[in-house]
Every structure is written in C-alpha cells, then in structure tokens.
Chain A
Amino acid sequence: GAGVSQTPSNKVTEKGKYVELRCDPISGHTALYWYRQSLGQGPEFLIYFQGTGAADDSGLPNDRFFAVRPEGSVSTLKIQRTERGDSAVYLCASRFGLNQPQHFGDGTRLSIL
C-alpha cells in the first residue's frame, strides 16, 4: 500500500496569498500530524488530529494557520495572508495507534516570494 501522500510537492506563491496543503494519510491511520521544517532545523509540531477533531493545535504559530480533517482521513493545512517567514517544508505524518511509529510523507516545500 501507499505511504503518506502530500500534494503539491512544491508550491511557490507571492506574499499575501492563500495556500492549501494536502495530506492523504495511510489508510486506517486515525492519528494525523502536521510539522513544519525550516531550513537547517528539525521538524516542529503544528497540529494533531485524532479522527476528525484537532486534539492538539498548540503548535500553530498564529491564527493565519488552520487545518481541517472533515472525514477523518485527508487533511488540509491552510495558510492565509502568507508571509516570507512561512517558507518551509511542511510535513505530514500518520500513525495507527498510540504506541505505533509515525509514518511521514515527503513534505510540501512552500516558498513565499
């Protein structure tokens, strides 16, 4: 079966624009995570979904960032009024159970000009 799929793989847009990043987790994985990885840094936690609900959104940097997972499978990370500092690789991960490892996607490289 396929692993975690993220689209697009690359996104270039202008400052101030709105972007959506999509994550398709492994089938049957109820837990889904978003992380952000800036250049030269490790991934930083953004938000965690258990099923359809955001169980922990403490990592979202501000209210320009929002994520949804309406049917408990695919998730979309939405960024409004993008800023140059939002440029990073956005990683998605999913896992089956609490004691199971997280499986990561390839990420979306977001560049804000």
Chain B
Amino acid sequence: AQRVTQPEKLLSVFKGAPVELKCNYSYSGSPELFWYVQYSRQRLQLLLRHISRESIKGFTADLNKGETSFHLKKPFAQEEDSAMYYCALLGSSNTGKLIFGQGTTLQVKP
C-alpha cells in the first residue's frame, strides 16, 4: 500500500538549533516525494521536491531508498520556520495525485 508516515505531531526547538522533520514512505517502485508547508493563516504551498535536489529557505531533504525515508533538515532553525509541514508522495504518475502524511507542527522558540 502507498503510505506516508510522519511520526511526530509536534517538534519544538529553539532558534538556531538544527531541525529534522521525519518522513517515511511505503511505495513499490521509484517514489517521487515532496515537502509542503502551511504557515499560519496561509494556504498549503510546495517547499521542495526531491527530484529538484534544491535547498529552499535553508531546508534540504534527501531521499533514502534503503530506509524509505525523506527527512527534512535545516541546520539552524529560524522563528519564521514555525509552521505545519506535510510530507507527500506522488501516488500516481498518470494523475499526479498526492498522498500526504499527517503533518508535523514545527515550533521554533526564541
């Protein structure tokens, strides 16, 4: 079955501390994974996708097929990073539908 698991509902860190938001997936085949972010009172938006291998707002995520993981990392958290983060898996390359995890709230304290 296709599934995305984000084991932490809430991650709380101090400003300047490293951040790692965990994401594990279940998918037979070659997965395509994304991180979406929702800031307070804003709509859901794409943060990054693994095929782009880019760094957005200091965040990176590496696909680890052996561990079936796609953890989101940032070396030094900022207060403006506080938001809800969703990991998503492309469920079908034909339709583009996404399978989302439950989400993790990141709280960066001053």
Interface centre among A42, A56, A59, A103 (most CB of B within 10 A): A42
Contact pick for A56, options B6, B88, B95, CB 8 Å = B95
A102 and B98 contact, Cβ closer than 8 Å, known pairs A3-B43, A42-B103, A91-B44: yes
Contact assessment for A106 and B43 in the assembled complex, using a CB-CB cutoff below 8 Å:
yes
Contact assessment for A98 and B96 in the assembled complex, using a CB-CB cutoff below 8 Å:
yes
Contact pick for B99, options A45, A95, A102, CB 8 Å = A45
Binding site for A on B (CB under 8 A): 4, 6, 9, 34, 43-46, 49, 86, 88, 91-93, 95-103
Min Cβ gap B106→A in Å is 15
| Chain A residues positioned under 8 Å from B88 (CB to CB) | 42
Smallest Cβ-Cβ distance to A105: which chain B residue:
B43
| Chain B residues positioned under 8 Å from A61 (CB to CB) | none
| Chain B residues positioned under 8 Å from A50 (CB to CB) | 95
How many residues of chain A have a CB within 8 Å of chain B? 26
Q: Does A1 count as interface, using CB distance less than 8 angstroms?
A: no
A45 and B86 contact, Cβ closer than 8 Å, known pairs A95-B96, A102-B98: no
Q: Does A55 count as interface, using CB distance less than 8 angstroms?
A: yes
| Chain B residues positioned under 8 Å from A104 (CB to CB) | 43-45
| Chain A residues positioned under 8 Å from B103 (CB to CB) | 41-42
| Chain B residues positioned under 8 Å from A101 (CB to CB) | 34, 46, 49
Contact assessment for A43 and B98 in the assembled complex, using a CB-CB cutoff below 8 Å:
yes
Q: Which 7 A-B pairs have the closest CB atoms?
A: A42-B100, A104-B44, A101-B46, A45-B97, A56-B95, A48-B95, A43-B100
Contact assessment for B44 and A45 in the assembled complex, using a CB-CB cutoff below 8 Å:
no
| Chain A residues positioned under 8 Å from B92 (CB to CB) | 56
| Chain A residues positioned under 8 Å from B93 (CB to CB) | 98
Q: Does A23 count as interface, using CB distance less than 8 angstroms?
A: no
| Chain B residues positioned under 8 Å from A105 (CB to CB) | 43
